[in-house]
Amino acid sequence: MSSIRDLILEGRRRLDRLPLSDPTLESRLLLQKAAGLSDIEVLSSPERPVPLGKVRTFFGLIEKRRARAPMAYLLGEKEFWSRTFRLFPGVLIPRPETELVVEKVIELSTKREESIVDVGTGCGAIAIALAGELPLARFIAIDISRRALKAARINAALAPARRIRFVEGRAPAAFKSLLPAESQDFIVSNPPYVSERDWRDLAPEIRLFEPKRALVPGPTGLEFIKRLIRGSAPFLKPGGHLVLEIGHGQRDGVLSFFDEAWADVRSFDDLSAIPRVVVARRTARERASSSPHPL
């Protein structure tokens, strides 16, 4: 039987030409997944033999990775906000830059009882991270994908985060049946914002495996964001906030969608100095639009 060391080296050799990867780390993680090994077992017993059945499983994972399957799907998990989230193929993988959405909500929160809606919750990363930081808040997490909601409910149960109501629906149209007018302190979202043109240039790990409808809302990439901005104001309390992630180069286009129903509209850069999150405050009742925007 092959040893742990030998298998990691062979996995590294097979993954060596993958772009933007760490072949040694990926080989080790895939072997740990296939053989049920811990970090300590790998580091302390590199000469330990691995049973043939687990070796076959390992090389099966290696071949999937060579075909550009994302590591998060092969491992079945991804870290976000220092938590491990379970993932299934077809559920959007959370990214580190989305943590900026969580940071801004925490900064703006009163830390008292608040109502928060997470639009396009995916695996539940934003809502569950916020539930851990804001123990008095109540959440509604909306997604159009049943597969994503299944993952989100599993992650909420593991957290545990029991103040989250998961709802299948298409936002912002779903707000009408879910939310009373002027009832929410926050509406937050990592919305689809990739244009059709940019989609064609994405890495195969994204383009071939991640759900397109969670990433691409239309030709320009701004279609869903525009609807969300116009559809959110009637359901936010005066003084409530909309916090949303945006794509590279979208700042000016997104800011142009805000009208007199909004104030203090600001953008914030991610660690790469890219405008990544937009925050806007719903104006006081007497200044806000008297009727909802068409959705």
CATH code where residue 83 lies: 3.40.50.150
SS3 letters across the chain? CCEHHHHHHHHHHHHCCCCCCCHHHHHHHHHHHHHCCCHHHHHHCCCCECCHHHHHHHHHHHHHHHCCCCHHHHHCEEEECCEEEECCCCCCCCCHHHHHHHHHHHHHCCCCCCEEEEECCCCCHHHHHHHHHCCCCEEEEEECCHHHHHHHHHHHHHCCCCCEEEEECCCCCCHHHHCCCCCEEEEEECCCCCEHHHHHCCCHHHHCCCCHHHCCCECCCCHHHHHHHHHHHHHEEEEEEEEEECCCCCHHHHHCCCCCCEEEEEEEECCCCCEEEEEEEECCCCCCCCCCCCC
Residue 285 pLDDT grade (very low, low, confident, very high; cuts 50, 70, 90): low
Q: Is the pLDDT of residue 99 over 70?
A: yes
Residue 291: per-residue pLDDT: 44
30 and 106 together in one domain = no
115 and 236 together in one domain = yes
pTM confidence score: 0.92
The last residue of a domain, from among 17, 42, 67: 67
Residues 126-139: pLDDT tens digits? 999 999 999 999 99
Query: Residue 29 is part of which domain span?
Result: 4-67
